[in-house]
């Protein structure tokens, strides 16, 4: 379905409810620059760290597109686990996985309530930015502790610049991108208003510090477009 969530005046802050879940795949494709390319990169890097029976988590898995793509491209058996606190999202994740004949364990709960088993790969795409900063750092430490030695944490986030002029230019470029995807000025402003104080992005340096402070020995940016980036942390 086409994303038209913000065609009417908003009445509440953004949440991953039934209305959003029903159009979420279209929303991602039209709201996140190079989303498909980052999905393929996530898949490619994840599989490099997997062997037969490796466990892979996707935190904030939404409709399970990432785990489905990993499964479709894997030559080995993997234990795939998706966690999301939105029942509406997981309903669609189950339907998609079933349609592809892919076995994914889907957990409907808050990430902080789930005990992670030892894993090779943990993924979190556009999820950390919705977690309050103090809690975010606790989650990264939890991720680090549950990864096997040599395991990886792959995550994608919206990012901001430490330089105000660049930040304004980032916003302008992103605004133009969304207009090119067919969103009206009204829809763009409505979504921005609904996400205020809900989506809190970090700078590149803040993301790097958070990962290194948790214990990861290696951190790098795998892909970046203006104010969107994909990052990887390796547990040495």
| Residue pLDDT, tens place only, 141-200 | 999 999 999 999 999 999 999 999 999 999 999 999 999 988 998 888 888 888 887 899
pTM check: above 0.85: yes
Rounded to the nearest 10 degrees, how much is the dihedral formed by the CA atoms of 174, 203, 64, 79? 150
Angle at 70 between CA 102 and CA 226, to 5 degrees: 135
Q: Phi/psi at 39 (nearest 5 deg)?
A: -65, -45
pLDDT digits (tens, 9 = 90+) for 15-64: 777 877 777 788 788 899 999 999 999 999 999 999 999 999 999 999 99
**CA distances in angstroms from 34 to 62, 64, 174, 205, 230, listed in the order given:** 18, 18, 12, 22, 11
For tokens 């921005």, what's the residue? 192
Q: Residue 182 phi/psi, 5° resolution?
A: 100, 5
Give the domains, in start order, of the chain with CATH numbers: 18-234 (3.40.50.150)
């Amino acid at each position: 379905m086409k994303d038209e969530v913000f065609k009417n005046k908003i009445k509440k802050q953004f949440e991953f409810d039934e209305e959003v879940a029903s159009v979420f795949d279209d929303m991602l494709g039209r709201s996140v620059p190079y989303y498909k390319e980052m999905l393929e990169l996530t898949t490619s890097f994840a599989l490099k760290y997997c062997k037969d029976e490796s466990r892979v988590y996707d935190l904030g898995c939404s409709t399970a597109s990432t785990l489905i793509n990993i499964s479709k491209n894997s030559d080995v058996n993997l234990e795939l686990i998706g966690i999301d606190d939105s029942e509406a999202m997981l309903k669609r994740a189950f339907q998609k996985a079933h349609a592809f004949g892919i076995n994914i364990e889907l957990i409907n709960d808050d990430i902080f309530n789930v005990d992670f088993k030892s894993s090779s790969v943990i993924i979190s795409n556009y999820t950390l930015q919705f977690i309050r900063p103090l809690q975010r750092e606790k989650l990264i430490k939890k991720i680090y502790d549950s990864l096997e030695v040599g395991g990886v944490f792959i995550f994608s986030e919206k990012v901001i610049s430490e330089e105000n002029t660049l930040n304004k230019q980032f916003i302008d470029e992103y605004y133009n991108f969304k207009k090119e995807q067919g969103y009206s000025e009204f829809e763009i402003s409505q979504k921005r208003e609904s996400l205020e104080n809900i989506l809190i992005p970090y700078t590149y340096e803040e993301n790097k510090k958070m990962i290194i402070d948790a214990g990861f020995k290696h951190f790098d940016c795998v892909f970046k477009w203006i104010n969107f980036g994909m990052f990887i942390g390796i547990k040495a």
